Each structure stands twice: as C-alpha cells, then as structure tokens.
Structure 1
Amino acid sequence: MKTNNQSAVLVMLDRHLGNFLVASPVLRHLARQFQTAQLILHSPHAALAQRIPGLPKPHLISAARDNLWSRARLFHQTLSAIRQHRPQMVIDFGGSKTAALAGGLSRATWRICHQGAPHARLYNRHADPGGLGHHRIDTYGALAAAAGHGYGWGHPSLQATEEDHADLASRGLGDPGDIVCLHVAGGKGYKHWPLEKYARIIDWLANQGLRPALIGAAPDRLAANQVLEHCQQRPLDLVEQLPIGTLIALLSQCQLFVGNDSGPMHVAAAAGSPVVALFGPTDPSRWGPLSNRTTIVRGTQAVAPGQGKSAYAEGRTMESISLDSVLAAIAQQLETNTPSLFN
C-alpha cells in the first residue's frame, strides 16, 4: 500500500495519558509517511503533545462523558474533523467507541482499526493486535503495519521547552539533580503500593542526603497526604504544584523516579529519568516503561482468583512487594547514576 502521496487522519481519543504517550512514537512515525497527516486527540493531552518532538499539531476534541448527548456531540465533532481533511486513510487508535464509529463512517478509502475493535465491521483493513509483539506499543505498531509502515518508531520521548526549564528554575527548588520524584498513587487502586512503605522510602532517601519529592495531580492529593502523615522526614510536596511542562523539566534532570504502574511512570521514562517501577497485578512486559534506565520490582504473592487483572495469570499483589526489594533497586540505580553517593 503506497501512502506517501496520500492524506491520513489518525484518531487517538484515549483518555489515559499513559496510553497516548506509549502510542506517540507510532503516531509520529505514521505522520511522517503521508503527504499530509492530521492527528485527532483528546484535548487534556494537548500540553503533553506539544512536548513530543515531531508530533503533528493535533485537532483537539473533548472525549464524551457517559450520556447520550455528549456521545452524539463527540460523534459529530470527530466525523466533521475527519471529513474536513478528506483523507484517503483513517486509522483508529482506540479509546473511544463513539470516535471509532465516526472513523468507520468517514468514507475514507482505507479505514484501519484493530481486529475485534468497536465497530470493526465498518473498517476495511484490520490489524492483528498481537502480530508484532506483546508490549502495548506493539499493539499500536500493528496499525502502522496494516497501513504498510511497520517498525521504525522508537520509544516515547518528551522534551521540556525553555519556558518549562525557566519555570522550574523560578520555583526555588535548587539543583534538581539531588531530587528523587515519587508518585505514590495512580488511577487504579489495585496498582498502589502501601503508602506507609513509601514513607519509609522517603525517610531512607533523606538519610542518604537526597531530597525526596512527591509529585502528582489533584486525584493524588489524598494519597500524598497519607504518606506525609507517616514520614519522619518531610519531603518536598509538589503534588498539584507543577504544570505538565515543568514536571517534564524536573523529571529530565532529577536523580530518580520511583512509582507504581501509572501515567507519570511513562512520563518519567520518556523525559529521560531513571525509573524504579513497582508492578503487581499488571504485566510489566506489556505495560512497562520503554526505557533502558528502568528497574522493575515485582511482588512475590499471586493475586487471588477474581482479583486484579484477570487477563494476566502471573499477577502479583502490590502488598507482597517488600520494602527491602525496593530499597535495593533504588540503591542500585543511585549507585549506577551517582557512584559518589556510595563512596
């Protein structure tokens, strides 16, 4: 399928920040293959998209809430955005059944989605989700392969702007190089490590002469407050304090990131931070950070039947991740990154 002289619309209306970031190398790769390419994106991801090098400027749409009127509005907005570009090809990256319906009815010559995706019968080319590999990025890559452009997309990358770095410098945090960022929550409770263990990590880091810092957004506030209650040495509290660009600037310069399987974990890896990622019920070979500076720590106790991610038979409980195993992973990363700390 020759596409260099064609136009394409790439539809990515997944609300999950991590999914968008993992898909971004494939989106960028595909955009380079077409004479014109338009990305349709969930509007809350706009600031993140601006900091992904090489990603085309997106057409922003707010994903529908769970009511008929909102879904109808999303359908109309998505279909109008696609048809105004009159593309030869539409590729649906998933995340919205309503947007998938709009793509299927777009009248594009080629309409590509995953096998078994919502409204797949309206598409005339289907990608095998497991055809290229097991990681989530391979699932997105299968769409590129179905369009005739498999492989060559690399890993997620984020680049803070000069303004982001200036904003970070203006906040009086000093040298970011001795800050260890911790994200202690996330969207799904079953992926959370016990908060009192995070408090012990914070105390240990402070005793090493480092500056632990809690990061996150408004939904992380309650968990962060609970961690603060357990700490003997108070960390920097940056929860709800940093715009995404400033956070990327911090993560690009900090000593280390420690956290659960979550969107901020993927942001940290894409920004260039060394990462210690804690995995329990989810599969690190599918959802792990795409970085060669990552250490994965897993639990030892199997998830009971009917709990956690039923599709992943090797799931482990977060509670069975020992404090010592996380401390060992952190120490190994610190020794690799800053040997002088242990001399």
Structure 2
Amino acid sequence: MVLPSPSAPLPAVGPLGERFADVRRIAVLRGGGLGDLLFAVPAVEALAHAYPGAEITLLGSPMHAALLTGRPGPVHDVEVLPVAPGIREARGQEEDPAATEEFVRRMRERRFDLAVQVHGGGRNSNPFLLRLGARHTVGTRTPDAVPLERSLPYVYYQHEMLRALEVVGLAGAPAVALEPRLAVTDEERDRARRHVGGGDRLVVVHPGATDPRRRWPAERFGDVAAAVAADGAQVLVVGDATDVESADVVVARAQAALPPAARGRVASLADRLDLGELAGLLSLADVVVANDSGPRHLARAVGAPTVGIFWFGNAVNAGPLGRSQDRMQMSWTSHCPECGIDCTQVGWTAPRCEHDPSFVAGVEVAPVLEDVRDLLGTAAHEAVA
C-alpha cells in the first residue's frame, strides 16, 4: 500500500467536485462569533491549497477582522458584513438597508470568481451571496433555501469543521487540515507574558459562553482552579466584559479554598485582553479549561491542550476531534430542566423554550480535574472534594 506524502491533501469530506477554471478572487461568507470563524479555517486552508495564488476574502464580523487583519495565514483581507437578519446580528443595531446596498455594490465591484457559503442553512445567506455576483457559488441549503451553483444539504447535527470542508470539496478543494491552525506573533506572546508568573505551570480558565445553557457553574471552575493552584500552577481566568462577574466568582471560590500563600496564584484577566493578547496567552498555557466557547476553540487553534465541558449536542457540532491533547466532559441532558421540552430538536425550525438553565450542570468537578491533571502530568494527585 502506498501512503500519501505528508504534504499531500487529505481526502475530501463528501464528493469532490471539479475545480473551477481561472479562479483568482474567492469570497468566503462566515459571520458569527470566534468559534464560527475558527470552524471555517480548515476550509479556507483547503481553498488556498486548491487555488494557489487566489486572493481569499473573508466576509465576516468585526471580531474576525480584529483577529485576522495582518496575521499570517490564507485570508488576505476581511470585509465586515453589514448588520442584516441572518447575516450579522449586533446587539442594539438594526439593519441599515442603505449600508447593505453599499456593501453589495462594493463586493460586486471586486468581481469574485468563487463565493463560498459556510454560514448556516442558506435561507438568508444564499440570497445574500448570490447578490454579490460571483461567477461560481457553493454552499449549504435547507430544503426551503434557494440553491447555489453547487449545494449540499444542511443537516444540523454535523461537525461544523467537517461541514465547511464538505462545502469547499464541492469546489474541488480537498482537506489539508482537519482542525484550525492560527499563527501567533512574537509580539502577542511577549504582551501575554507580562501576566504570567507565580506558578510552575499555567492553567487558563474561561467560564463564559454566548449561550447560558452551555455554561458550567462558575463555582465548579473555581474548585478546579483551587485544586491546580494547590498543586503549584498559576491560574488565569479570561473572558470579555460579559464574563467579568463569572470570573470574579471563580477567583473568589478558589482563593477561599487556598491557604493565604497560594491565593496569589489565581487571578482574573477578564475584559483586560485584546484578541491578539488572548491568543498569545492561550498559546503559553499548559492547559486551557473552558466551556464550548470561542476561547476554547482559539486555544485549540494556537496549540494549547484543552479540557472542555460540552452539552452532548454541541459535542457533535463543535467538539475536539482528538484526545491526546484535548479532553471533553459531556452532559447528557436531553430535556430542559425547567419545562421538560426536548432540547435535542435544534436548528432553524425547532422550538426554543424561554428558559436558560445550564445544560452542563450535571458534569462533576472530579472528572474535569482528572483530565486537567492528566494533561499537566500530575494525575497522581488526589481530587479536591
């Protein structure tokens, strides 16, 4: 049996279409959050490999622009999407039709040869993509979405990275990587190092998640933080402005369980880091402990070992693929703890109850701590009760 060389493309996910001719400009539509962007990175790498020399433009969010602008990688530039239903949501902002029309006009002037939709089921994104006037289009679609030149069915329960790879396979782009990779600059690491010190290893904790149902109780993150700080590690809690309160709970819980001499090993950096500095810090971490969230996916992309707490449905769509450097503890909650509605029926048409209890509260501290210590090489320690 002849094995492929390390530089050879991996097989495509799904059927591999013929490559389009004379593709010099590619647009990739992927709005949403940090994790949404990172799920699309392997697909963008595949496009860059299949169409060498083509300029790839990401149509994304301000966060995506902040992270990728000037960073080495396959994305040449980022165009920030207008606020529009199903395209880009922004709290407190409504669609400005004139701004949307201006965006479409500018994108048509760029004369994209290929436009790729990896932005959901296509009800809103496919009509939007078609307005850009690209010579060729590929993407996903639900039965009621308008078709693109080449489409594949959108079925909710599919890993997002593999879904995106299947989409670009329609354009003749086989995979070259199955998980996202993101370059971190020396300057970002240097800025992050200012916060590091006071322990023999670094554990980074992120207790937040956009969806409250994906949040493990902050007190349990605090118990994990206390245990690894007692082992001698430094623990830094990260997050944005919405995570400050949870981060403070983590720190207070951990410090209350530690002797005075060890309390300084646990601190919060929530709402104090920009995205580049966060990437630098995560790249320095020995382990990152987090919910299913953008920072956990960013940690994986910059090479940090991770321990993630996942609702089992999200594990299908967003869980890590490997286990040597990534561990996952899952909650098997299938019905809302408050009203009993079936929470496995998800997607565009599924009912969503008004309740936001944690769907991952059933995950205990002990297995999470065991995973953290195993990755740190300290599995022989006793778990904290």
Q: Same fold (TM over 0.5)?
A: yes
CA-CA distance at 1:341 after TM superposition: 8.6
Deviations 1:2-37 (A, max 9, x none): 335223432324121101111012113213433433
Aligned residue in 1 for 2:179: 155
Q: Which has the higher contact order (CA 8 A, sep 6+)?
A: 2
Asked if the contact 1:278/1:298 (under 8 Å) is kept, the reply is yes
Paired residue for 1:273, among 299, 304, 317? 304
Equivalent AA in structure 2 for residue 20 of structure 1: L
Equivalent AA in structure 2 for residue 241 of structure 1: R
Q: TM-score, normalised by structure 2?
A: 0.77
Deviations 1:248-300 (A, max 9, x none): 11211211100111111100111111111111253323211355410111235
Change beyond 3 A, Cα 1:341–1:60: farther
Equivalent AA in structure 1 for residue 328 of structure 2: I
Equivalent AA in structure 1 for residue 109 of structure 2: Q
RMSD across aligned positions (CA): 3.1
Paired residue for 1:330, among 352, 368, 372? 372
Equivalent AA in structure 2 for residue 33 of structure 1: A
Asked if the contact 2:141/2:152 (under 8 Å) is kept, the reply is yes
Asked if the contact 2:204/2:236 (under 8 Å) is kept, the reply is yes
Change beyond 3 A, Cα 1:99–1:176: farther
Q: How many residues align?
A: 334
Change beyond 3 A, Cα 1:143–1:91: same
Change beyond 3 A, Cα 1:176–1:72: farther
Paired residue for 1:260, among 269, 279, 291? 291
Q: Give me the whole-angstrom Cα distance separating, in 2, the residues matched to 1:307 and 1:227.
A: 31
Equivalent AA in structure 2 for residue 257 of structure 1: V
The aligned runs of 1:48-59 (5 Å cut-off) are: 48-50=67-69, 53-59=72-78
Change beyond 3 A, Cα 1:108–1:172: closer
2:218 pairs with 1:218? no
Change beyond 3 A, Cα 1:331–1:82: same
Q: Give me the whole-angstrom Cα distance separating, in 1, the residues matched to 2:61 and 2:32.
A: 6
Paired residue for 1:134, among 136, 158, 164? 158
Aligned residue in 2 for 1:227: 250
Paired residue for 2:142, among 109, 116, 132? 116
Asked if the contact 2:84/2:100 (under 8 Å) is kept, the reply is no
Asked if the contact 1:110/1:124 (under 8 Å) is kept, the reply is yes
2:69 pairs with 1:43? no
Q: Give me the whole-angstrom Cα distance separating, in 1, the residues matched to 2:286 and 2:21.
A: 42
CA-CA distance at 1:204 after TM superposition: 0.7
Partner SS state of residue 138, structure 2: strand
Asked if the contact 1:216/1:240 (under 8 Å) is kept, the reply is yes
Which region of structure 1 is more displaced relative to structure 2, 80-89 or 235-244?
80-89
CA-CA distance at 1:193 after TM superposition: 0.8
CA-CA distance at 1:68 after TM superposition: 9.7
Asked if the contact 1:216/1:238 (under 8 Å) is kept, the reply is yes
Which region of structure 1 is more displaced relative to structure 2, 187-196 or 103-112?
103-112
Q: Give me the whole-angstrom Cα distance separating, in 2, the residues matched to 1:20 and 1:101.
A: 21
Equivalent AA in structure 2 for residue 55 of structure 1: P
Paired residue for 2:345, among 301, 310, 317? 310
CA-CA distance at 1:202 after TM superposition: 1.3
Higher fraction of helix:
1
Asked if the contact 2:71/2:183 (under 8 Å) is kept, the reply is yes
Q: Give me the whole-angstrom Cα distance separating, in 2, the residues matched to 1:140 and 1:220.
A: 29
Equivalent AA in structure 2 for residue 36 of structure 1: A
Equivalent AA in structure 2 for residue 332 of structure 1: D
Equivalent AA in structure 1 for residue 152 of structure 2: A
Which region of structure 1 is more displaced relative to structure 2, 242-251 or 255-264?
242-251
CA-CA distance at 1:307 after TM superposition: 5.5
Which region of structure 1 is more displaced relative to structure 2, 264-273 or 287-296?
287-296
Q: Give me the whole-angstrom Cα distance separating, in 1, the residues matched to 2:144 and 2:118.
A: 11
Q: Give me the whole-angstrom Cα distance separating, in 2, the residues matched to 1:339 and 1:199.
A: 19
Which region of structure 1 is more displaced relative to structure 2, 60-69 or 158-167?
60-69
Aligned residue in 2 for 1:164: 188
Q: Give me the whole-angstrom Cα distance separating, in 1, the residues matched to 2:24 and 2:308.
A: 39
Change beyond 3 A, Cα 1:160–1:108: closer
Asked if the contact 2:222/2:253 (under 8 Å) is kept, the reply is yes
CA-CA distance at 1:197 after TM superposition: 1.2
CA-CA distance at 1:126 after TM superposition: 0.8
Give unpaired runs (5+ residues) of structure 2. 1-17, 86-91, 348-357
Equivalent AA in structure 1 for residue 326 of structure 2: T
